Amino acid sequence: MRAMKSMTVMLMGAVLAASAWADPLPKVNGYPSQAIRFISPFPPGGGNDATTRWVTTTLSSVIGQPAVVDNRGGAGGNIGAKAVSDSKPDGYTLLTGQVSLMAVNPTLYSSPGFDPIKNFIPITQVNAAPLAIVVPGTSPFKTFADLAAATKADPEKITFATPGNGTLSHLVGVVLAKKNGVSMTHVPYKGAGPALNDLLGKQVDVMITSTASVAGMINSGQLRALAVTSPRRIGVFTKVPTLEELGMPNSTYEDWYGFFAPAGTPPERVAYLNKAITHTLRTPEVTKLVIEGGSQVVANTSEEFAATLKQDIARWSEVVKLSGAKLD
């Protein structure tokens, strides 16, 4: 519940932002004429859920129809992704995707239930966000060096939580162990929300997760960030060193969130959604929420997002192979 409260505070600004749109965008051949459902394939309380709500709260006034969030967690996001890929391609059911789901899972899982290229059309990328390595505010680990020293003294003792097996967070933990000697015992959860609650309850020592999941708790002092995986310091993490600053070259790992429509969705509806969502992302209020969440607004074209997806699938498939991880 504590994790959810910090997300609620950040969403209040988005509610105020909705009033900034006096008139909705003109419809395209009658679209949209009903509510648009955004499936967030993880439980409430994590970065995927928060990012979806930052957008949908304001988007409703932009499109003149409700934008509804439907959380469908499970199987590292595969359940929600499959639900969207199997839905009618009419522009009324969309997916909030992220790197772990769309670029990692196709290699990690023997049968994820969807193909990110064949079954989806990218609409727009919301942001580019690093991961954060965080501990409770009362943790004895004050710096990343403290953590590294503890793992070297007893590699099996320190536990690190992630939103799930094969997530970007998990794979960064694998790279830290194999390339940098920072070896910890992995404790996977079904989403960032449950993992955060156990971290705050000191059931685990460390968590690797999206900056959007923890920005509010960093500000409040509930959590302490030891390092971020971005190429530079950003947002509320300006006092937090990057892994590269700490002497780990080639340690830039950025997550992203973005929206997808099922393959076969009419191009004019994809174009409408791109226009409406990028408008929303560029409002000062929503941009502020994204930046305060520790990331940068991207709001690109469908074609640009598709190119990013293909590049990330190639990159992360290699990391999955390095990890040796494979899930059924």
pLDDT (tens, 9 = 90+) of the chain, 328 residues, equals: 444 444 444 444 444 444 445 589 999 999 999 999 999 999 898 889 989 999 999 999 999 999 999 999 988 899 999 999 999 999 999 999 999 899 999 999 999 999 999 999 999 999 988 899 999 999 999 999 999 999 999 988 999 999 888 788 999 999 899 888 999 999 999 888 899 999 999 999 999 998 878 988 999 999 999 999 988 887 778 899 999 999 998 888 888 999 999 999 999 999 999 999 999 999 999 999 888 877 889 999 999 999 999 999 998 888 888 778 788 7
Closest to 66 (Cα-Cα) out of 26, 23, 40, 37: 37
What's residue 192's pLDDT?
87
What's residue 112's pLDDT?
94
- Which fold is adopted by the domain 2-128+255-323? D-Maltodextrin-Binding Protein; domain 2 (3.40.190)
DSSP H or E segment with residue 132:
strand 127-136
- Which fold is adopted by the domain 129-237? D-Maltodextrin-Binding Protein; domain 2 (3.40.190)
Residue-range domain boundaries for the chain: 2-128+255-323, 129-237
How far apart CA 65 and CA 56 sit, in angstroms, is 10
Q: How far is CA 90 from CA 34, 185, 274, in A?
A: 11, 44, 15
Closest to 91 (Cα-Cα) out of 20, 36, 46: 36
What's residue 22's pLDDT?
58
Would you give the DSSP letter of residue 225?
E
How far apart CA 165 and CA 100 sit, in angstroms, is 10
288 close to 76: Cβ distance less than 8 angstroms:
no
Q: How far is CA 196 from CA 1, 101, 182, in A?
A: 9, 20, 21
Q: Find all residues with CB under 8 Å of 148, minimum gap 6, and list them.
A: 180, 181, 182
What's residue 74's pLDDT?
87
**Per this entry, what is the length of the chain?**
328
What's residue 21's pLDDT?
54
Question: With the C-alpha atoms ordered 251, 103, 58, 10, is the resulting torsion angle positive or negative?
Answer: negative
